[in-house]
Structure 1
């Protein structure tokens, strides 16, 4: 496999009147593949996926508002507002419709992008994410954001405990995650958690005529498999996949198992894609296939 170069780019935005910057990475050629990261991380966490999928796709990995090279969030923000910014990147790149992959908060933004501009979305991979929360959970999500009001140090360990099994917290992936979280902007963290707490897309997803892969780990304690099941039921054309033993950040902890599921789905839903990972026994379990 040849290593393709990755370009760092920046887009100036001013939807709310104040100029802002959105950072993103591009690599490869072909159908657009848009990658959206979880809260607290950034587009650099997709490096394994960029290297693999840029062989066949034009990969675009965005730093969502308040993350990575993008401007900090100053004031309230919504998931729909993030989706609007992501749509602006696709416009700037003259890319679309795109296959959209979103993990956790990135999966929520992906849903809003599809609802806002369905013609820009060729297919969706919604990983370790949800479409709504119980009313009694929403205040707890806001508090996760407010817990960083004295600095990110207070939220690192609780976040790692939700995202990774003990062995991974002590491994390189856990330590890398701790460093990324430590460097995150506390105000952006709080604003994004407040946006997550307002998530409510389930009753609107039935209008989408877009193929979707809903995938999560069986050991995810942050967004349990029941949340993935609800998403898959709400989407008219969804495949539900459970990765045995994977936690919330399994997509970055053990990429090979998720790459296999992503590649299988993309092979079914893109024009001329050849499987990246041939596997006689896929390391995932398909629970439903509409």
Structure 2
């Protein structure tokens, strides 16, 4: 199995497909499985898709007792690219992964051809998140069955849950088979909380950017996406009606279409809205 070795972490990654490289960075609580095999397979029809488990998640290893930072996790992502022999890639980050992606582009601009920022935020004082959601994020249920219900309530609007209960039950049964230890989950949330944010630095980004957000996102309301798109020069914004934090599961076909259209739109395979 391929691993990227760092002094304080061992990062598992896998590679699919051929074409211009695309790095996927997952959010809090997730691992490689959370991208969905169909989503990765479709992206891999046109791109070399590199997905990895964040430190401590999935098959990656790191000590959560030592405080982590998003800057450190951005350097993890760069280490994965180096281990895969990739000097420059498109980067798609989801939720916390989108924050890591921003930090990667700011710390290692030569490594990032374009950014796709999904259901994420610039962090810091400009990040908008209701206090009750912050508390809910910190109190993840212990049992797998309760945790599945908790994720569904957090990630999806009630109307979607009511129509897709069987699908969601099956999906989370698979996703939670390899769930992360609580200490790792809390360490990820701590890293998000201590991040200084990117707001002041975003105007310095020169790579094309696509910002994607669900209009009914409870975890990170869509104003976070609007602020990112406003702050990043030339960024394109796509909003998905009726979708929550798990918008890629709700609107999978549209999301894939929009991501691929952006990546293949020109200039190193990346497109801007003109």
Cα-to-partner distance string for 1:212-265 (whole Å, 9 max, x where unaligned): 000111221221111100001110120011122221112134311100110111
> 1:255: which partner in 2?
252
Instruction: Describe the SS at the equivalent of 2:85.
Output: coil
Higher relative contact order structure (alpha carbons within 8 Å, sequence separation ≥ 6): 2
Give ranges in structure 1 of 5+ residues lacking alignment.
1-7, 274-287
- Are residues 218 and 149 of structure 1, via their aligned partners in 2, closer, same or farther at CA, if it must alter by over 3 Å? closer
> 2:228: which partner in 1?
231
Of 238, 241, 263, which aligns to 1:241?
238
- Residue 34 of structure 1 and its aligned partner are, at CA, apart by 0.5
Of 120, 123, 135, which aligns to 2:111?
120
Cα-to-partner distance string for 1:13-49 (whole Å, 9 max, x where unaligned): 21x4xxx321111012221100111211211232223
Q: Verify: 1:198 aligned to 2:194, yes or no.
A: yes
> For residues 82 and 128 of structure 2, what CA distance do their matches in structure 1 show?
38
Of 202, 211, 214, which aligns to 2:211?
214
> For residues 269 and 62 of structure 1, what CA distance do their matches in structure 2 show?
26
1:59-78 matched pairs, under 5 angstroms? 59-75=49-65, 76-78=67-69
Cα-to-partner distance string for 1:193-223 (whole Å, 9 max, x where unaligned): 1111234111111111010000111221221
> 2:17: which partner in 1?
28
Give ranges in structure 2 of 5+ residues lacking alignment.
none
> For residues 200 and 253 of structure 2, what CA distance do their matches in structure 1 show?
33
Given the two structures, how large is their TM-score scaled by the length of structure 2? 0.85
Instruction: Describe the SS at the equivalent of 1:221.
Output: coil
Q: Verify: 1:41 aligned to 2:41, yes or no.
A: no
Given the two structures, how large is their TM-score scaled by the length of structure 1? 0.81
CA RMSD of superposed structures (Å): 2.7
- Are residues 138 and 164 of structure 1, via their aligned partners in 2, closer, same or farther at CA, if it must alter by over 3 Å? closer
Q: Verify: 1:184 aligned to 2:176, yes or no.
A: no
> 2:48: which partner in 1?
58
> 1:280: which partner in 2?
none
**Do 2:141 and 2:150's aligned partners in 1 also have CA atoms closer than 8 Å?**
no
- Residue 92 of structure 1 and its aligned partner are, at CA, apart by 1.2
Q: Verify: 1:163 aligned to 2:158, yes or no.
A: no
**Do 2:205 and 2:232's aligned partners in 1 also have CA atoms closer than 8 Å?**
yes
- Residue 147 of structure 1 and its aligned partner are, at CA, apart by 2.5
> For residues 238 and 10 of structure 1, what CA distance do their matches in structure 2 show?
33
**Do 1:148 and 1:155's aligned partners in 2 also have CA atoms closer than 8 Å?**
yes
> For residues 136 and 211 of structure 1, what CA distance do their matches in structure 2 show?
24
